[in-house]
Structure 1
Amino acid sequence: MSEIYDIANDYVERYAALNPFSATSIGVPGYDDKMADFSPQGADANADLKRRTIAALQAAAVEGERDRIAKEAMLDDLRTDLDTHDAGEHLRSLRVLGSPFQSIRMIFDLMPRDTEEHWRNIAARMALVPQGLSSYRQSLAEGMRLSSTSSRRQAEGCAQQARVWSGEGGNNGAKTFFHELIDAFDAAGVASDALRGDLAAGADAAASAYADFGRFLTDEYLHAASSQDGVGEERYALASRAFNGVELDFAETYAWGWEQLRWVESEMAKTAERILPGAGVEAAKELLETDPDRAIEGVDAFQRWMQELQDTTIAELNGTHFDIPEPVKRIEAMIAPPGGALAMYYTAPSEDFSRPGRTWYPTGGKTRFPLWGEASIAYHEGVPGHHFERGIAKYLTSELSRFQTAMGGTSGYIEGWALYAERLMAELGYLRNPDYYLGMLRAQALRSVRVIIDIGMHLGYAIPADADFHPGEAWSPELGLEFIRQRSHFPPDFVASEVDRYLGMPAQAISYKVGEREWLDARDDAKQRKGANFDLKEFHTRALNLGPMGLAQMRREMARV
């Protein structure tokens, strides 16, 4: 192992010790019973580790191309993380998705539940939920002291999540997430009354801690929270670099988002004509939503459909368009616990693949599932989207550094690949059914809308004078919600949380289309360079074997593929 790879391995081990949730996510053993420290002191300890690691990397000799790529990827990531820390973003990291507030609840989704030891870890960590929320509250309180807070919108959204997870929101008589873990323990067949008692006590403590935190948000934090939803250009540029790993021209990207939306709306009109001639897009959507022959009834039946789709896709793509390692052939389609956002998501496998990659579908209380949009989403979150990219990176432990396999990549790289995967499946004929193709186009419309309103709301851009939507007006959250309702073609319950998500995670929403553009450009460039010798499977293999990275580095490295 080279010096660079030794440094990467050491960093992952030390980072896991400081961040038990990351240890669980990665699959580093020994930390599943511990709680993360979200206090200012915890953040400072992480920053110190990054500084020491940067210094070690800068002093280390590069022994080959693998070393060079690994070093550049790691330095880019750590430097951006440090810039984000030094800007104090951890002191106002409160948002409806992707903040410590959700991580403390969601980490239990990743914990194994098979043996008595597993359940002891769950009980121990659940008992520490009050400690985790307390440390997080210290950071938010320091942000309040410095007048550096999240927005009222994000605080209100998190307060509502607290009501669900604590049971104080009524939950229509349902148990809290933490108390449902006791039922899961009973079903696991582990015989221990004492352990069951520990789980019950932990569930009570965790639910109570979320209730207390919700009161802190409504009684204290809301009064100090910012009235501004947008973050402005300086914070947006830093966030964009963190999520994309490249410096962007936001005015150009904003204009390009409008171009992409016009293209996809034209394609949707053509596709709707194939589904319901002469009726238009809205009528075609209504048919797809209401036709009983185009839907699945029941959550269990829908989960089976999702699992079968993933398994079939793996079997058909392997050896033709991808070389799929054996451990990556396993994926689980899951139903997400209630209370979070309604967007489907993916969790990567552990380092040893004992925990497989999983897709998570939030039903939002639905029991009927029209299928026209589900295939494309499944390809994005599962196969050949996130599961292939994340899974193959995990598998390449003999070639990539441990940092690359366990922690590497930006949202632009990762989400860009997943959006590329949706379009790829259309190119390969998997969306020849116009119902499913319209579903893919709807996803493209949403991602194009995200580019427009994310940049527009955060940077205060004006709507173009020639637009057919409030021309010349400045973007606002209200206009953003109206626009996404009109132009994304997603249902109202889904888009209701989208604007809150964008405003809480500046620049993450643009990473899908920005990253997809890089993947498509890289493929087009390879086709042009190789001509008749271009091979799609070889392109995918060589590209993914480079390992995850930021988009600027990806552009440089892919020019060699």
Structure 2
Amino acid sequence: MNSETTPRPGAERQPSILDAACDAFVMDLAELTPTDATAWGVADESLNSELQDFSPEYWERRAQLMRNMLMDVDALDESTDDSDDDDDFDDVDHLTAAVLRDRLTLELDKHHAGEDLRLLNNIESPVQIIRDTFLMMDTSTAAGRDAIRGRMAKIPQALRGYQESLSAAAGQGHVAAIRQIDKVISQCEALADTDSMLNNLGVEAHSAEVQNAKRAFGELSAWLGDNLVSMAPARDAVGRDRYELFAHEFIGDEIDLDEAYKWSLERLHEVREEQNALVRELYGPDISIRQAFHNLNHDERYTIHGSDNLQKWMQNTSDAAVAALDGKYFDIPAEIRTLECRIDPAGTGAIYYTPPTDDLQRPGRMWWSVPESQNTFHTWQELTTVYHEGVPGHHLQCGTTVSSDVLNMWRRTACWISGHGEGWALYAEQLMADLGFHEDLGTRLGLLDSQRLRLARVALDIGVHLRKQVPTNTGVWDASYAKWFLRENTAMDEAVMSFELNRYLGWPGQAPSYALGQRLWEETRDAALAEGQTLREFHANALALGSIPMSILAKEVLNN
């Protein structure tokens, strides 16, 4: 681990007492939550063989660490005066303190509301955390495989602890919607199956560790069916009070949800008109957007067959973007010019990015979790996805943060705000068009399809979870209308669309953070340019701050 208790190479600013406290906090979190330690690249390799148990006691210990950190921030801040002592907060410390207070207070609010105990959905809850941590682990060395074996041996205990938390939540009447329980049951069954991905992690498939882990997932599947299904609500909506908490967490700021809903529908209309104009240019006046998608999907110029060829195309496209942008539009640090593109064997349909470890030994990676039924891919639609996940999107953003010689470890690795991060990645997609990388009308249509999807998700997510009237005022948003609305507003493959819809229904507040975050990035950029900053200066100044709430970022980068 690179510790801020000593300067990083090239650092001009000496680490502060608050930086040291943040580093200690990260190490405490890493010890308590070993899957995070793996994701962050903490140097204590013994943690790679450990696994948190997701029990009520685990969640309370995690909350106590956050309470203690907040008390430390307050105590250190109160000791600051104007005497220029070494212990005084500088501008970096004041920013760190503001972000800590925002993020940790939100986490504690969720804990006090019991949200951690009831955590269950199809994408970001303990089953997926356990499954996905193995994708980041080393299978090439004996030591790496031993760590996997050790962590896998702890899966039964972790899943028993998870059951205790779900039982405690159910005792308070807090049970996930039946749709989410059904999806997690299916995921557990896949992990328990004879061809489970657990067989392919470098540990012998017949070993006790693999067999016991598979058995534990099978037992959790049965337990969910026996104990939670009958209690699970059919309604997916979480209601305004819970949604406001989630929206603040993911977007990074409190916003007017009703205004955001109205704005998204208005922008959807504008983007649809842009698509119609492109379609007329491509195919003439008598072709619909849907027909244009069909034509592009059957155009061999934009077609890839097979996951292996998809991986090669992802890698080549990513490498080309780095070469074209570095030194011209961005200064990309040498240590993050490598991005690995990989196929995720879980097959969920998700496309995502994992950042470099803090020591920069594991590179950033772009993952495509290809469903078993999908063998054909369309580059007109997915070119913008590579820019989103790679450069100038997440890889540039996260790599810049991780390689910083100013930020402490908590800000480099442990603080992630979706509205900032996903907002930047969507902003980066549009930026590539602005810089001339979508001269091809097909890929330009794919960009607009991506933008339209993210806008549709704002309306869908807020509409469903707040039980708003549908745009035609003929009823209330529910899963059936949401599926129709999603199909009308995207060219997404059916298997992927099904996964995405369930994600929105079970992970409230996250999906809108993309378009609403992009909106905040664009507003801040426009204000910076109006003040006289160049685009390159704005990007450099903003990305140097790491992932922080956009309202705080605006105060930092703008003069007024």
TM-score normalised by L of structure 2:
0.93
- Tell me what 2:111 maps to: 85
Q: In the alignment, residue 510 of structure 1 is paired with which amino acid?
A: P
SS in 2 for 1:353: coil
Contact 2:134 2:201 in 1 (8 A): no
SS in 1 for 2:133: helix
SS in 2 for 1:537: helix
Q: Distance in 2 between the 1:483 and 1:9 partners?
A: 45
Quick check: 259-268 or 358-367, which moved more?
A: 358-367
2:385 to 358, 361, 377: 377
Offset, 1:318 = 0.6
Q: In the alignment, residue 470 of structure 2 is paired with which amino acid?
A: I
Matched, 1:31 2:47: yes
Q: What does residue range 487-502 of structure 1 map to in structure 2 within 5 Å?
A: 487-502=489-504
Q: Distance in 1 between the 2:131 and 2:332 partners?
A: 32
Q: Distance in 1 between the 2:115 and 2:412 partners?
A: 26
1:451 to 443, 447, 458: 458
Q: Distance in 2 between the 1:298 and 1:241 partners?
A: 40
Q: In the alignment, residue 555 of structure 2 is paired with which amino acid?
A: R
- Tell me what 1:422 maps to: 429
Contact 1:26 1:350 in 2 (8 A): yes
- Tell me what 1:237 maps to: 244
Matched, 1:177 2:197: yes
- Tell me what 1:6 maps to: 20
Contact 2:50 2:151 in 1 (8 A): yes
Q: Distance in 1 between the 2:417 and 2:322 partners?
A: 25
1:126 to 136, 139, 152: 152
SS in 1 for 2:454: helix
Contact 2:139 2:201 in 1 (8 A): no
2:179 to 150, 153, 157: 153
- Tell me what 1:171 maps to: none
Cα displacement string for residues 216-244 of structure 1 (whole angstroms, at most 9, x for unaligned residues): 11121111222331110110011111112
Q: Distance in 2 between the 1:334 and 1:558 partners?
A: 35
Q: Distance in 2 between the 1:286 and 1:112 partners?
A: 41
- Tell me what 2:84 maps to: none
Contact 2:382 2:446 in 1 (8 A): yes
C-alpha RMSD over aligned residues: 1.4
1:59 to 75, 91, 109: 75
Q: What does residue range 459-470 of structure 1 map to in structure 2 within 5 Å?
A: 459-464=466-471, 467=472
Contact 2:53 2:160 in 1 (8 A): no
- Tell me what 2:228 maps to: 221
Contact 1:409 1:550 in 2 (8 A): no
1:207 to 207, 214, 225: 214
Matched, 1:482 2:489: no
SS in 2 for 1:373: helix
- Tell me what 1:539 maps to: 538
Q: Distance in 2 between the 1:400 and 1:476 partners?
A: 43
Offset, 1:73 = 1.0
Matched, 1:266 2:273: yes
1:275 to 271, 274, 282: 282
Identity %: 33
Q: Distance in 2 between the 1:126 and 1:243 partners?
A: 31
Matched, 1:249 2:251: no
Cα displacement string for residues 356-412 of structure 1 (whole angstroms, at most 9, x for unaligned residues): 11111122122221211111011111111111111110000x201211001113110
Matched, 1:284 2:292: yes
Q: Which runs of 5+ in 1 are unaligned?
A: 169-174, 186-195
Q: In the alignment, residue 177 of structure 1 is paired with which amino acid?
A: M
Cα displacement string for residues 277-309 of structure 1 (whole angstroms, at most 9, x for unaligned residues): 222212211111112232122221121110011
- Tell me what 2:3 maps to: none
Q: Distance in 2 between the 1:528 and 1:91 partners?
A: 47
Quick check: 241-250 or 491-500, which moved more?
A: 491-500
Matched, 1:515 2:517: yes
Q: Distance in 2 between the 1:200 and 1:331 partners?
A: 34
- Tell me what 1:189 maps to: none
- Tell me what 2:339 maps to: 331
Offset, 1:339 = 4.1
Q: Distance in 1 between the 2:262 and 2:491 partners?
A: 21
Offset, 1:541 = 0.8
TM-score normalised by L of structure 1:
0.92
Q: Which runs of 5+ in 2 are unaligned?
A: 1-14, 81-87
